[in-house]
């Protein structure tokens, strides 16, 4: 059931058969390729844009792919980047993917080689989600968007976990560049992909001067990291961040030993080396490992770590995870990401900025809360669903479940959309747009109301943006059922808005000019601010004055009758515990006249630290 839930929320994006067609021949900077003909669109899969980041290139900025002789076939996806298996990467036993993974994919309308050279179509670069720990490009089929709206879509992979974001003084030795030393290798992979687009996309019919970057969850974070990166300036022209986060960890936390409390807002490179030393049998415990590491020369540490397998490295990372670390995020190193962090790009009117769409789903937190045994009973599926295995059987306290999911989701919108939008507009950036995805017409399965259990949950909008998924049998039967016709309409409307934004920098009334006007965010009281994306029977597409502030949400929480006084405090504590979800200390200390600060949260901390529902994003 775990795989089923994730599958119908972010996967099941099915592809047709590949058929090589000579019209798909394209000349790249590195050499010739041929792709696949899927009727109204062509695609090219597994195009190398970087040298394999292995051996001496592990923990280095990516190097452009070398040229090749002859013509390469680009009809098959290449391996995903190395990652743990299981739900949200939660398996301790299985691993998948490869370090040799920097291969992108391109979709275009069906244009001959000569026709492509005469076109200047908008380019959209997609960055997948997965907490910067899991995910792959082969889960997404943008062919509908490409065919209906005549755009080019490029899907790009990037190094993840400690292979993608890792800081240690051992990798800042002489002969390394500022990019090599940054620790932001996953971010640098996406920047190199943008450079590849600048050099090659003309051959596919794309306009090098009209590139939109878009991504969801961790992919949304990676998109907004590019928005804040001086190195990415000029490489893209528009931004769409879907359900992302904007926080960054402290550099000191990423490369120093943990304090005795083991609380840190990032996985420490030094602590990962400690765990590798323990795994290697050189140390029996952390204290011994620290002594050994401190005595090692930096070049020996670098050699030691580079000789470890990806499995050994990520196993050490998992063992080294501290309390409160939150999601893997880009580092404010001062070169790849400005030292003030991502949020500074929302307030500094002197830096280059582009039109931007920010948005979240109304029930973001429900996908994660549905996994918590203390909130939802799970058991063996029966009857027609017996082949699934385990699935949800009952929401234990529905009103409580609704309440904590509501606050988690609304705080997500505040941090990922409303606050950044307000900051951007205050600093003079008017080309700012916000949405909330509200579609929740899920069916009842085995007496469980999935509209209440999942609702407009995290990642659900991907089924609509990449619309081929809605026509798969499993999604029709388990997700949309009788709502399929309206779901298809909403999918077409969303694609129309996204494509119009890619063409013009404003979603407007969509590509055909027949949708409700999606206007810019306004900080004026009472002004419509957020485009609600929903089915016609549930209100449809509507601009509303939906905007959250921390003070407003905390005032509601303090008087919410669905929660006891202690549950109100626990809800606030849960919202503020993870490092990428901080509540200001002033708000925490003043909430409920300060009564929350003296309570014992040890049991709640155990649940969070055991990863029960720690919604790092995906």
Mean pLDDT calculated for residue range 219-227: 98
- Considering the domain architecture, whether residues 361 and 315 belong to the same structural domain is answered as no
Please check whether residue 560 lies inside any domain of the structure.
Answer: yes
Helix axes 269-279, 298-306, angle to 10 degrees: 70
Question: In this model, does residue 11 exceed pLDDT 60?
Answer: no
Report pLDDT for 91. Answer: 53
pTM of the model: 0.94
Contact 40, 21 (CB under 8 A): no
- Considering the domain architecture, whether residues 364 and 226 belong to the same structural domain is answered as yes
Per-residue model confidence as pLDDT tens digits over 496-548? 999 999 999 999 999 999 999 999 999 999 999 999 999 999 999 999 999 99
- Considering the domain architecture, whether residues 529 and 456 belong to the same structural domain is answered as yes
Per-residue model confidence as pLDDT tens digits over 166-200? 999 999 998 899 999 999 999 999 999 999 999 99
Question: In this model, does residue 615 exceed pLDDT 50?
Answer: no
Report pLDDT for 15. Answer: 38
Average pLDDT, the chain: 92
Please check whether residue 598 lies inside any domain of the structure.
Answer: no
Q: Where among 564, 582, 605 does a domain terminate?
A: 564
Contact 393, 377 (CB under 8 A): yes
Two tokens, residue 456: 């407009």
CA distance 408 to 411: 5
Domain that holds residue 528: 1-247+335-564
Q: How many CB atoms lie within 10 A of CB 595?
A: 12
Per-residue model confidence as pLDDT tens digits over 419-433? 999 999 999 999 999
Residue predicted with more confidence, 90 or 363: 363
| Separation of CA 460 from chain center | 13
Q: If 0-12 CB within 10 Å is exposed, 13-18 middle and 19+ buried, where does residue 246 land?
A: buried
One-character DSSP codes across 431-442: -EEEEEE-----
Report pLDDT for 558. Answer: 95
- Considering the domain architecture, whether residues 355 and 304 belong to the same structural domain is answered as no
Q: What percent of the chain has pLDDT over 90?
A: 83
Two tokens, residue 4: 């089923």
Please check whether residue 614 lies inside any domain of the structure.
Answer: no
Alpha helices in 320-460 (DSSP H): 344-347, 366-369, 398-413, 419-426, 450-453
Please check whether residue 616 lies inside any domain of the structure.
Answer: no
- Considering the domain architecture, whether residues 4 and 53 belong to the same structural domain is answered as yes
Please check whether residue 157 lies inside any domain of the structure.
Answer: yes
Contact 75, 45 (CB under 8 A): yes
Please check whether residue 607 lies inside any domain of the structure.
Answer: no
- How far is CA 71 from each of CA 31, 33, 67, 155, rounded to the nearest angstrom? 7, 5, 11, 22
Contact 261, 431 (CB under 8 A): no
Q: What are all long-range contacts of 401-407, with beta carbons under 8 Å and residues at least 24 apart?
A: 401/369, 401/375, 401/376, 401/452, 402/452, 402/562, 403/560, 403/562, 403/563, 403/571, 404/365, 404/369, 404/563, 404/571, 404/574, 405/363, 405/365, 405/366, 405/369, 405/455, 407/553, 407/557, 407/571, 407/575
pLDDT range class, residue 390, cuts 50, 70, 90: confident
- Considering the domain architecture, whether residues 84 and 152 belong to the same structural domain is answered as yes
Please check whether residue 155 lies inside any domain of the structure.
Answer: yes
Residue predicted with more confidence, 20 or 579: 20
- Considering the domain architecture, whether residues 287 and 387 belong to the same structural domain is answered as no
Q: Where among 319, 346, 379 does a domain terminate?
A: 319
Per-residue model confidence as pLDDT tens digits over 107-133? 999 999 999 999 999 999 999 999 999
SS3 breakdown of the chain: % helix, strand, coil, rounded to 5?
A: 40, 15, 40
- Considering the domain architecture, whether residues 311 and 444 belong to the same structural domain is answered as no
Question: In this model, does residue 251 exceed pLDDT 60?
Answer: yes
Report pLDDT for 1. Answer: 45
Two tokens, residue 297: 């020369």
Q: How many CB atoms lie within 10 A of CB 506?
A: 18
Per-residue model confidence as pLDDT tens digits over 300-324? 999 999 999 999 999 999 999 999 8
Terminal Cα distance for the chain, rounded: 17
- Considering the domain architecture, whether residues 71 and 187 belong to the same structural domain is answered as yes
- Considering the domain architecture, whether residues 147 and 280 belong to the same structural domain is answered as no
- Considering the domain architecture, whether residues 21 and 150 belong to the same structural domain is answered as yes
- Considering the domain architecture, whether residues 218 and 298 belong to the same structural domain is answered as no
CA distance 451 to 539: 16
Which of 252, 251, 295 lies closest to 273, judged by CA?
295
Which of 236, 445, 446, 261 lies closest to 356, judged by CA?
236
Q: Degrees (nearest 5) of the Cα angle 603, 369, 361?
A: 135
What CATH number corresponds to the domain at position 114?
Answer: 3.40.50.1820
- Total tally of structural domains belonging to the chain: 2
| Separation of CA 222 from chain center | 7
Please check whether residue 325 lies inside any domain of the structure.
Answer: no
């Amino acid at each position: 059931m775990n795989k089923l839930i994730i599958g119908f929320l972010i996967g099941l994006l099915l592809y047709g058969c590949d058929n090589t067609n000579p019209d798909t021949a394209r000349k790249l900077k590195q050499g010739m390729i041929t792709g696949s003909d899927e009727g109204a669109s062509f695609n090219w899969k597994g195009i190398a844009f970087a040298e394999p980041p292995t051996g001496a290139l592990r923990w280095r900025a990516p190097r452009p792919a070398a040229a090749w002789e002859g013509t390469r076939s680009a009809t098959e996806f290449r391996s995903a980047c190395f990652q743990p298996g299981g739900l949200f990467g939660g398996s301790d036993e299985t691993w998948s993917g490869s370090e040799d993974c920097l291969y992108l994919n391109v979709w275009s309308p069906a244009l001959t080689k000569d026709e492509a050279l005469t076109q200047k179509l908008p380019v959209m670069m997609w960055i997948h989600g997965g907490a910067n720990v899991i995910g792959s490009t082969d889960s997404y089929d943008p062919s509908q968007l490409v065919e209906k709206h005549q755009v080019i879509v490029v899907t790009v992979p990037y190094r993840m976990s400690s292979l993608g974001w890792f800081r240690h003084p051992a990798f800042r030795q002489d002969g390394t560049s500022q990019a090599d030393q940054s620790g932001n290798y996953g971010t640098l992979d996406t920047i190199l992909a943008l450079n590849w687009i600048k050099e090659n996309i003309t051959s596919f019919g794309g306009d090098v001067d009209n590139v939109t970057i878009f991504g969801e969850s961790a992919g949304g974070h990676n998109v907004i990291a590019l928005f804040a990166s001086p190195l990415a300036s000029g490489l893209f022209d528009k931004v769409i961040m879907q359900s992302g986060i904007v926080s960054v960890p402290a550099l000191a936390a990423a490369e120093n030993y943990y304090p005795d409390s083991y609380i840190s807002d990032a996985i420490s490179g030094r602590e990962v080396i400690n765990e590798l030393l323990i795994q290697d049998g050189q140390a029996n415990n952390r204290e011994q490992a620290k002594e050994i590491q401190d005595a090692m020369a930096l070049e020996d540490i670098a050699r030691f770590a580079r000789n470890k397998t990806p499995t050994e490295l990520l196993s050490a990372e998992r063992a080294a995870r501290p309390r409160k670390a939150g999601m893997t995020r880009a580092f404010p190193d001062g070169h790849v990401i400005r030292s003030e962090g991502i949020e500074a790009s929302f307030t500094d009117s002197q830096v280059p900025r582009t039109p931007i769409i920010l948005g979240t789903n109304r029930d973001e937190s429900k996908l994660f809360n549905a996994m918590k045994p203390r909130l939802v009973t799970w058991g063996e599926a029966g009857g027609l669903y017996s082949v699934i295995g385990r699935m949800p059987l009952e929401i234990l306290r529905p009103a409580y479940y609704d309440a904590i999911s509501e606050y988690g989701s609304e705080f997500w919108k505040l941090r990922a959309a409303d606050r950044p939008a307000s900051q951007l507009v205050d600093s003079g950036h008017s080309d700012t747009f916000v949405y909330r995805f509200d579609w929740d017409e899920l069916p009842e399965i085995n007496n469980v109301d999935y509209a209440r259990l999942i609702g407009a949950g995290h990642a659900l909008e991907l089924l609509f943006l990449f619309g081929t998924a809605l026509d798969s049998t499993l999604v029709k039967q388990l997700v949309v059922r009788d709502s399929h016709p309206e779901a298809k309409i909403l999918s077409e409307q969303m694609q129309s808005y996204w494509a119009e934004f890619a063409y013009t920098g404003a979603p407007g009334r969509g590509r055909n000019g027949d949708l409700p006007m999606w206007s810019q965010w306004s900080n004026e009281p009472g002004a419509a601010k957020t485009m609600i994306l929903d089915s016609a029977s549930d209100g449809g597409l509507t601009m509303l004055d939906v905007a959250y502030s921390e003070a407003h949400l905390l005032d509601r929480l303090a008087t919410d009758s669905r929660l006891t006084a202690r549950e109100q405090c626990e809800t606030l504590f849960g919202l503020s515990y993870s490092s990428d979800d901080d509540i200001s200390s002033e708000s925490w200390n003043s909430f409920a006249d300060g009564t929350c600060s003296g309570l014992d949260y040890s049991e709640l901390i155990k649940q969070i630290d055991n990863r029960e529902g720690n919604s790092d994003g995906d």
